[in-house]
């Protein structure tokens, strides 16, 4: 039986809302040792509306001379691909490889329920051969080997 994303994902990930600013997002990244924070709308049942990455903060935030008080909405990435809890680990890995990403939000409908990362899957050594080699390519391209 194939492993699903639900078996390896991080539940209750750190999040921000549109009321948060980029300084607050950066502090949460530092304090939680992550470079990826989902942006949710709590008033609408924890609906995922985007993500903020450390790269977003640098490229769209500080390099564009936005102050720390700028809303995360100005720098967040929208239109992101997601997995469902029943997505197989192999399918998630292939999606990450095709999108050149290392983290994937997991949703139930539009509600954020977790995040799965390359690290979550690598630690468990459960890649299919083709997905694993594709993900190795991402790591090499980003200097992570």
The DSSP-derived string for 18-52 is: TTSBHHHHHHHHHHTT-SEEEEEEGGGTSEEEEEE
Are 120 and 98 in contact, with CB atoms under 8 Å apart? no
Instruction: Write down the domain spans for the chain.
Output: 5-141
pLDDT tens digit string along 11-25?
999 999 999 999 999
Architecture of domain 5-141: Roll (3.10)
What was the pLDDT predicted at 37?
97
pLDDT at 126 over 70: no
Burial grade of 144 (CB within 10 A; 0-12, 13-18, 19 or more): exposed
Band (141; pLDDT cuts 50, 70, 90): low
């Amino acid at each position: 039986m194939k492993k699903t994303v639900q078996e390896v994902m991080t539940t209750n990930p750190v999040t921000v809302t549109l009321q948060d600013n980029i300084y607050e997002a950066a502090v949460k990244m530092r304090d939680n040792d992550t470079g990826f924070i989902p942006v949710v709308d709590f008033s609408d049942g924890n609906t995922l509306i985007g993500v903020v990455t450390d790269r977003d903060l640098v490229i769209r935030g500080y390099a564009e001379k936005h102050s720390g008080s700028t809303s995360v909405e100005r720098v967040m990435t929208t239109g992101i691909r997601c997995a469902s809890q029943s997505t197989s680990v192999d399918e998630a890995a292939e999606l990450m490889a095709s999108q050149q990403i290392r983290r994937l939000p997991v949703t139930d409908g539009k509600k954020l329920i977790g995040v799965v990362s390359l690290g979550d899957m690598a630690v468990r050594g459960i890649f299919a051969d083709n997905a694993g080699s594709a993900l190795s390519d991402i790591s090499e391209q980003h200097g992570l080997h």
